């Protein structure tokens, strides 16, 4: 049955750190096969466990991503202001827990200082060049943002331009953005 089901596709999420700010931007398209189901989904969220702001963007299954975001919030409540520790604990649980292992999503998270990609393989990656991207259009957005990083543009402008380029190339990405900015 799983082989014949077309599956959910899409999403482009980008995280950019520049000039003391970190921006995470995500498109709003949700597709099922060749059909756009929704164009206004919010795949970037602001979390505030214990009064410490964290911004997270997700690619993959929405229910799986929400499960991971809830777990991340709990980890942050247990270790307030320690995003690296919470991210590592989440990745460790995700990799070793039989239920969590089946979750199909990826996260980009930031507290305004650190920027991480968290995967179900147990990875907590801090990107080189202060740019991270995930999802079907992620590599298009990543390439565009990397090309713009040496410009005079701020992080938000770079994120918006990179997402516009990804939306022009990736059929599973649209230009309806959710953008969250957080200061270092």
Catalytic residue among 11, 12, 110, 173: 11
Burial grade of 63 (CB within 10 A; 0-12, 13-18, 19 or more): exposed
Rounded Cα distance, 67 and 140, in Å: 27
Instruction: Confirm if 95 and 103 have CB atoms less than 8 A apart.
Output: no
Instruction: Confirm if 86 and 108 have CB atoms less than 8 A apart.
Output: no
Strands 30-32 and 35-38: antiparallel
Residue 35 annotated in active site: no
Residues with a known catalytic role: 11
């Amino acid at each position: 049955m799983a082989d014949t089901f077309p599956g959910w596709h899409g999403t482009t999420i980008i995280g950019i750190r520049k000039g003391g700010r970190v921006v995470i931007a995500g498109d709003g398209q949700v597709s099922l096969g060749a059909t756009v189901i929704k164009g206004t989904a919010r795949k970037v969220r602001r979390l505030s466990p214990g009064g410490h702001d964290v911004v997270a963007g997700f690619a993959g299954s929405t229910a799986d991503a929400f499960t991971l975001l809830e777990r991340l919030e709990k980890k942050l409540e247990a270790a307030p202001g320690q995003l690296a520790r919470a991210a590592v604990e989440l990745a460790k649980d995700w990799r070793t827990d039989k239920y969590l292992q089946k979750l199909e999503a990826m996260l980009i998270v930031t507290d305004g200082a650190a920027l991480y990609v968290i995967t179900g393989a147990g990875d907590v990656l801090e990107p080189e060049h202060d740019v991270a991207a995930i999802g079907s259009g992620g590599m298009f957005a990543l390439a565009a943002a990397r090309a713009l990083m040496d410009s005079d543009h701020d992080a938000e402008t770079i994120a918006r331009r990179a997402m516009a380029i990804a939306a022009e190339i990736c059929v599973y990405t649209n230009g309806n953005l959710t953008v969250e900015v957080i200061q270092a």
